[in-house]
Amino acid sequence: MPEREVTLALVQLSCTEKKENNIAKTVEQIRAAASKGAEIILLQELFNTTYFCRSIDDRFFDWSEAIPGPLSEKLCPLASELDVVIVAPYFERRAAGVYHNSLIVIDADGTLLGKYRKKHIPDDPSFYEKYYFTPGEDDYQVYETKYAKIGPLICWDQWYPEAARITALKGAELLVYPTAIGTLPDEGEAMGKEFLEAWQTMQRSHAIANGCFVASINRVGVEGEVRFWGHSFVAGPFGQMLAEAGTEQEMLISRIDLSKIEKQRQIWPFFRDRRIDTYEPILKRYID
């Protein structure tokens, strides 16, 4: 099978409460990524704001906007100008009282292909997402862009193999996980290392189990008590760590060959050997 090489750029940044500054900084990085040959540019969760879910404060609802809206109207022409695909996650206002943690996928001709709304919503100290976000009830999505079939998921979704499996079964070649994950002061260095290893291991396992590529984009910087530790990465279809960022602001460039997916699935035919006749219990919350 001929090579199908695609260049990814994962944009890992810190943010402030000045939305326009965050957007301007990200646009600058998108342009820089395109100049380095990137064809698919992936942004972090809630890329244009701080991770405001650290506290419960209704003023942050003012940061939401409709899809399509002003931000998509800014990014779509940029994608067309640079001939790049952009995956951009931000706070969506769907209707009065209904808000989502969402992302949009923009094709290289500037077409807004659609959106994905985060399905799994956490509620932990300094991660109070259930106050802000309604779980997405639409189907898991796969978008056929100019360069690859992209299956977008968001942060907490990354811990659920069911989400990765369904998205891969729908044809995703690249699972994309925009993320905001970090540690709290009382968790310490050793625990932070365990969290990082678990986070990467889980997503690399999705790559292995589904024979596809995975890209995860985290933010960096300190916001309140949370230290976001970056380490954005790209994994190959057998879980290989193909590229990994550090703990500072960075544009991570990785060139992947999508033709490797079919060969991987020939050698490790997990889709072929699935016992779908035995999986009905997975639809239960818990099996007593």
Positions annotated as catalytic residues are 45, 118, 155
How far is Cα 181 from Cα 226, in angstroms, rounded to an integer?
Answer: 9
How far is Cα 226 from Cα 220, in angstroms, rounded to an integer?
Answer: 10
- What does residue 131 show for φ and ψ, rounded to 5 degrees? -70, -35
H helices of the chain, in order, are 19-35, 70-82, 129-132, 161-169, 188-210, 260-267
Assess contact for 265 and 271: CB atoms under 8 A: yes
Residues near 275 by Cβ (< 8 Å), separated by ≥ 6? none
How far is Cα 14 from Cα 231, in angstroms, rounded to an integer?
Answer: 13
- Reduced to 3 states, what is the DSSP secondary structure of residue 271? coil
How far is Cα 114 from Cα 104, in angstroms, rounded to an integer?
Answer: 6
Describe the chain by its helix, strand, coil percentages, rounded to 5.
35, 30, 35
Q: What is the separation, in whole angstroms, between the first and last Cα of the chain?
A: 48
Total residues found in the chain within this entry: 288
Q: 């193909």: which residue's tokens?
A: 242
H or E, element range at 255: strand 250-257
